[in-house]
Structure 1
């Protein structure tokens, strides 16, 4: 195993969890290596209610990413969204250290130090501190105060606050998977990083991230985040309204995406669609115009909430680039047209295509992945995540094993050492032999053994890769232990000293007592056999006296213990 750095993002939504892994290129762009989305339960409007269900969904997504990339994820960045995330403004000032030389960087750092000392309420934590503007002597607003003349430097900061409990639950869900959460970002700040161009941030734009349970609104102006808010309403409210039409819950989402429209007058008036029920008799027909009417009513509510939040930000009249829609629910047909009619401004639907490599465009070209890609970009700016990359072991060369029968092909000469028992006893199972090409062959395949050529190199094996014997059997690749086969004919057996030069005794490798089992031949004394019928094999023992049986058994035991040849009685 070797360690490799990636950036890992976990975007936990109300209906799905997205896990993305990327790597920063030398040119600064993010290469998205993998993106996986899985349905999730146990999340209500961005808040984790059932950590067991959430951990299970994250585990499925993480496991699939790990399988795709051959890594094990140990660290990740996460995003969070819900009505428990809010922004608050705070204004503070410092006096210029030397008014005659103007405002210096020392004065700006002193102002930042004062802002860092601002404490959040006991049940909240500060996620971001974003300076909004700088004022010199309370009269002149400047973008960069360094060099300006004045006695007093003040600024307004936008604090992004979040309740501690949702963050703790998210951290707990990741720790169940042995994943360390390196940082957590507000989805409202992460999503614009993947969909907005620099000129849009400068001239003014509102990003609306439409999720299942939460709708995030972020207002940019002069390249600064001016306002963020999370509306606890999303596409799940539209799904609940469609359920009131008698549509089974399992068909609601597919029906909305395939046939739904956010503008009723753009839907066909006389077109019907059939929705399956529990049985064929329960199937019903729905008019597309009626479906669009239900969707439009709830989508209009969401658009009006968004419009009101933009007005509350104070920048409604300064958004030159209008509204950018993104998120999984932004794929609803004609939703951009509905927002255009309600807000009376320009609207476009965006996919994450900013800051990522061109070859990653197709993989991440989905509005539902905008937040995950944004978390990747923000996380990469803070530091990559440590993951463990698994390196597959090098595949060993296939071994040539004879499955049975006579010698194969050109190697039918029958030469080469075979395995026999200790002190010349014939071997019941011969050990596999290795040919010159490095392949392992079974004892019944009498291919020529490896030969050492001058210079230490092995001579090539004359046997082909696959060759058939006279019985139709063939050599086959084999990666396990050598196949055991009965001993060959007596004339093919080798003398006891055949394998001693190779570090064996009696042809059997030392230390491997059971590699070659010895066949025990029972010889009955002539005096006992006289007048008795001839028996074969183990039946002879039944004609012996108890004393003779005991002696034979004792000799067998001694032979096993001391590896001695079996003598006649």
Structure 2
């Protein structure tokens, strides 16, 4: 049986998310969804292959049980501070007598980019064309069918650490699966939470995870800038833990339950009571104090992103504002703080255009990446989404075709 099935795997610092989906004419249907605690990654990098593989197996087992079948091929998200990017401009000549640009010319252009010199410990993760030029005329989105003698492109090239990619693939393989496609996490998130008008006007996507914060800038419908910053939700939790002298689990709990990113968002000032550890008595924590701790780190994070955008020259090109997503963005008042720091409108990014099935379970900002992974890399062939699936159903022990063949052979000998 062959169906249009896509499976995505988001390897996070705090959790591993797996989704199995079916793509139909009416949309994307979520067939299976699983989450498992992640203890084998640190800031987006695999720190323990065995623990990472176990988390992958657990998340995929839950998703497969819900879907009713197994998949072996996964689209896996990639993040971490090892990610870098550059812009590269190259060209090829059109040698055919007709001078009509065909797909093979685009393939040659892409192959030429792969020959650029990069550090020996880096590999090309993505080559994303920003703009095409035909005979020096720019502004072309798709040059196929256009006549000319010179095809040129400006490309956004994403680089990743070779060992980091090898560790991801090894973890997936040890779990019993194959990583058929690797996608940068902010690109995956953008597929699920941004609309085309935002990408056209200019928008910055900030995906706040547990270990890293992923940043992507889009303008004129193409990606222009990517950055991974090593400040995220776990740093906020650690600040609460160190300042208040409480265990990590309690710090994470009160962050999620009572956390505000800015004091202006606090509705009512009340006290939080935590059970003491050992000889220490119960602890009383004012929400205003908790908010101050959180706000300092979140403001630092947004200021870092703002400085990166200014330094890269993209701040002035962002007209549609800021879109926040990821589990770290769920803090109350996060959009208000972003508007204050960036000086532009901000909204929460939730997965868009999900169809039936278990779609409601991943309709939260913390699942933006995995919701984008099941859609694949923008521009990839739809045929790549087809995966042969193994149904969990009763199978007859008799091979009907073999039996019929034996009967024919018996009568032929008569």
TM class by shorter chain equals 0.7 to 0.9
Three-state SS of the structure 2 residue aligned to 1:307 is helix
Q: Deviations over 1:184-206 (max 9, x none)?
A: 11112111011111211222111
Counterpart of 1:142 in structure 2 is: 139
Are the aligned partners of 2:29 and 2:359 in contact in 1 as well (CA < 8 Å)? Answer: no
Q: Offset at 1:112? A: 3.9
Are the aligned partners of 1:10 and 1:76 in contact in 2 as well (CA < 8 Å)? Answer: yes
Are the aligned partners of 1:263 and 1:293 in contact in 2 as well (CA < 8 Å)? Answer: yes
Counterpart of 1:263 in structure 2 is: 262
1:63 aligns with 2:61: yes
Equivalent position to 1:386, from 382, 385, 388: 388
Matches within 5 A, 1:121-136: 121-135=119-133
Give distance in 2, aligned partners of 1:178 and 1:315: 42
Gaps of 5+ in 2: 397-414
Gaps of 5+ in 1: 395-569
1:308 aligns with 2:307: yes
Are the aligned partners of 1:86 and 1:160 in contact in 2 as well (CA < 8 Å)? Answer: yes
Counterpart of 1:331 in structure 2 is: 330
Give distance in 1, aligned partners of 2:155 and 2:205: 20
Larger proportion of helix? 2
Q: Offset at 1:279? A: 5.3
Structure 1, 325-334 or 242-251: larger mean CA deviation: 242-251
Are the aligned partners of 1:102 and 1:146 in contact in 2 as well (CA < 8 Å)? Answer: no
1:322 aligns with 2:321: yes
Are the aligned partners of 2:204 and 2:215 in contact in 1 as well (CA < 8 Å)? Answer: yes
Counterpart of 2:401 in structure 1 is: none
Give distance in 2, aligned partners of 1:143 and 1:195: 25
1:77 aligns with 2:75: yes
Count, aligned residues: 389
Give distance in 1, aligned partners of 2:62 and 2:117: 41
Matches within 5 A, 1:321-400: 321-354=320-353, 356-358=354-356, 360-378=358-376, 381=382, 382-392=384-394
Q: Deviations over 1:145-175 (max 9, x none)?
A: 5788987553321111111111111111121
Quick one: structure 1 residues 160 and 175, their matched pair in 2 at CA, closer, same or farther if it must change by over 3 Å?
Answer: same
Q: Offset at 1:75? A: 1.9
Q: Deviations over 1:481-516 (max 9, x none)?
A: xxxxxxxxxxxxxxxxxxxxxxxxxxxxxxxxxxxx
Q: Offset at 1:118? A: 3.4
Give distance in 2, aligned partners of 1:210 and 1:216: 7
Larger proportion of strand? 2
Give distance in 2, aligned partners of 1:340 and 1:310: 15
Give distance in 2, aligned partners of 1:21 and 1:298: 35
Are the aligned partners of 1:238 and 1:295 in contact in 2 as well (CA < 8 Å)? Answer: yes
Of structures 1 and 2, the larger Rg is shown by 1
Q: Deviations over 1:503-550 (max 9, x none)?
A: xxxxxxxxxxxxxxxxxxxxxxxxxxxxxxxxxxxxxxxxxxxxxxxx
RMSD between superposed Cα atoms in Å: 2.7
Larger RCO (CA within 8 A; separation ≥ 6) = 2
Three-state SS of the structure 2 residue aligned to 1:282 is coil
Q: Offset at 1:108? A: 5.5
Give distance in 2, aligned partners of 1:372 and 1:276: 36
TM-score between both structures, scaled by the size of structure 1? 0.63
Matches within 5 A, 1:6-405: 6-27=5-26, 29-95=27-93, 104-105=101-102, 110-118=108-116, 120-135=118-133, 140-144=137-141, 153-244=151-242, 245-267=244-266, 270-278=269-277, 282-354=281-353, 356-358=354-356, 360-378=358-376, 381=382, 382-392=384-394
